[in-house]
Structure 1
Amino acid sequence: MSVLETTRHGDIHELRLSRPPVNALNPELVGALREAVKEAPGQGARGIVLSGHAGMFSAGLDVPTLLQLDRVAMGAFWMEFMGLCEALGRCPIPVVAAITGHSPAGGAVLTLYCDYRIMARGEFRIGLNEVQVGLVVPEIIQAAMRRLLGAHRAERLMVAGAMVDAEEAHRIGLVDELVDTELVVGRAISWLRELLAKPPQAMSETRRIARADLHAEFDRVADISNEVFADRWFCDEAQTVLKDMVAKLKAKRG
């Protein structure tokens, strides 16, 4: 069964995360999504919608699976995940995040590199809560968060590992629009159609210039070290907190 579903709405391709129950990001899903984002322009797409299912965009990294990886495999996964973020950030066509529900940690990270973010209205939450689970938010992700929120607000949220509800996310600019859950994908498609109706050369070149700062972050850290991430992932504090979190989740489900 595919972990990623592609639906073509004319020249807009919807890439829907399809890994129940929470669209956790494991190596298979991250690899499939990275490939799909990179291939979409060559397959006739002029815009991409990245979506989840009602109530859940993505719960972030698949921690139970990733805890089973050794240092080499975890480093390879991290490079693949950063490659996915770069594919979104450098995508030559606009990408809209259709945030159909909760979006913590890695789920929120993906939305930072999209052009526009439309979130489901309601009691859904979004944010970079890495600190709460013993992980460091890497600089390249912090830079993307600062780009949206400004340095001080981004710092406060990331250092606290804060999750905010949809209304607050909209108020502070972490998302651009709120609509009812069932309308999120449709509104994302409509937003893209409005953008794609502009004179294409002028729009595309202006977009390229406007996103140059985002591209520059990837250029600046072209040698993103998986060793640094691995050191942080395998440190005693992170492993203790992550394993405790997984144990509590298992107990809750059982």
Structure 2
Amino acid sequence: MSWTIEQRGRVAIVTMTTNPVNAQNRAFFADLHEAFDRLESEYPECPVVLTGTGARFSAGLDLGEHFPLFAGDTAAVASWFQDYRATNMRLFTYPRPTVAAVNGHAFAGGLITAAVCDYRVSVAEGARFGLNEVPIGIPMPAVYVRMLAHAWGDPVAARTCLLGETFTPDQAHALGMVHELAPADELLDRAVAIAGQTPEDCIEQYAFTKRACQAASLRDIADLADPLDKELPDGMTSDQARHAHRRYWQQLKGRPATWWTGREEVPDEQ
């Protein structure tokens, strides 16, 4: 277990520390589940604040682990996706108040992890947010589109998922991606205050009402998003997707993608 849990009053502060930028990989997924296992057993009535360290909340998927996975077979991708889906579904449906204290940059899956919390407080300066899946050749899972629509509304979810824009804290606040901004040195205190607003003897009522608020989203996930997501492995492993992964890796790292095993070469852009 590499995540820390600190209790401040009634609130459990969970700090993600899987790696320096909280890139999301299988170790990150395991840490999340272990942290929430501990919350359920050791802090069952505590509201939760989730935060990162340094200048990053979470950098999103660990591309060094996932691009090679997406260069493999669809069965492996389908198995991986079920594990990935389970992490955000667990956070989305956790039956206690959850507040993301977004201490720094949050991209792609990292921004999704913040969005599936009930409330989001962000640093006022120095952070950037964005969903860059589509521009780098990763289809946004339908289950996450539905969660983002629940969090932000359909128009903002569609814009952020489709265009891959990067936003400042002020822009994210104006769009409703985060509920409020706070100076860095006040961020955690503010998040703890929000998390602790629900009276101790009303936690069960909060849990029921949260389920009621999410009922339509969970119905849509089961009836619409999950069937659509059966297409994801093909979309993540197609020749064009793999070409986009290779292109982005070379732009990001300045070196060729050694994991590339293309079945059919797609010409590079000129």
Q: Which runs of 4+ in 1 moved over 4 A?
A: 221-227
Unaligned runs of 5+ in 2: 256-270
Where does 1:37-76 land on structure 2 (aligned, <5 Å)? Answer: 37-45=36-44, 46-69=46-69, 70-71=72-73, 72-76=75-79
After superposition, residues 24-39 of structure 1 pair within 5 angstroms as: 24-39=23-38
**Structure 1 stretch 93-102 or stretch 234-243: which is displaced more?**
234-243
Q: CA offsets per residue over residues 197-252 of structure 1, 9 Å max, x none? A: 57334433333322223333443368567752221111122222222222333239
Residue 63 of structure 2 aligns to which amino acid in structure 1? V
Write the distance in 2 (CA, Å) between the matches of 1:230 and 1:56.
29
Go from structure 1 to structure 2 and tell me whether the alpha carbon gap of 1:221 and 1:5 turns closer, same or farther (over 3 Å shift).
farther
1:3-152 superposed matches below 5 A = 3-45=2-44, 46-69=46-69, 70-71=72-73, 72-152=75-155
**How many Å separate the matches in 2 of 1:87 and 1:11?**
21
Aligned length: 251
Counting aligned pairs with the same residue, the percent is 26
Q: Distance in 2 between the 1:207 and 1:42 partners?
A: 21
Which moved further from structure 2: 207-216 or 171-180? 207-216
CA distance in 1, matches of 2:30, 2:146: 23
- Quote the Cα distance in structure 2 between the aligned partners of 1:38 and 1:163: 33
Shift of 1:32: 1.8
Taking the aligned partners of 1:132 and 1:25, their CA distance within structure 2 comes to: 19
Q: For the pair shown, which has the larger CA radius of gyration, 1 or 2?
A: 2
Q: Can you give the 5+ residue segments of structure 1 that lack an aligned partner in the other structure?
A: none
Task: State how far apart, in whole Å, the 1-side matches of 2:24 and 2:89 are.
Answer: 16
Q: Which residue of 1 aligns with 2:236?
A: 233
User: Deviations 1:23-79 (Å, cap 9, x if unpaired)?
Assistant: 100111112203322441232242111111131000100011112333344332211
2:261 matched residue in structure 1? none
- Aligned residue for 1:22, secondary structure, equals coil
TM normalised by structure 2 equals: 0.83
Contact 2:143 2:229 in 1 (8 A): no
Is 1:166 aligned to 2:159, yes or no? no
Q: Closer, same or farther in 2 for the Cα pair 1:11/1:80, shift >3 Å?
A: farther
Describe the superposition over 1:150-183 as per-residue Cα deviations: whole angstroms up to 9, x where unpaired.
3233322321112211101111111011111232
Gap change, CA 1:77 and 1:224, over 3 Å in 2: farther
2:95–2:210: 8 Å Cα contact kept in structure 1?
Answer: no
For 2:186 and 2:227, the matched residues in 1 are separated by: 37
TM-score, with length taken from structure 1: 0.88
C-alpha distance after superposition, 1:77-111 (max 9, x if no partner): 21111001110111111111111111110001112
Which one is further off, 117-126 or 206-215? 206-215
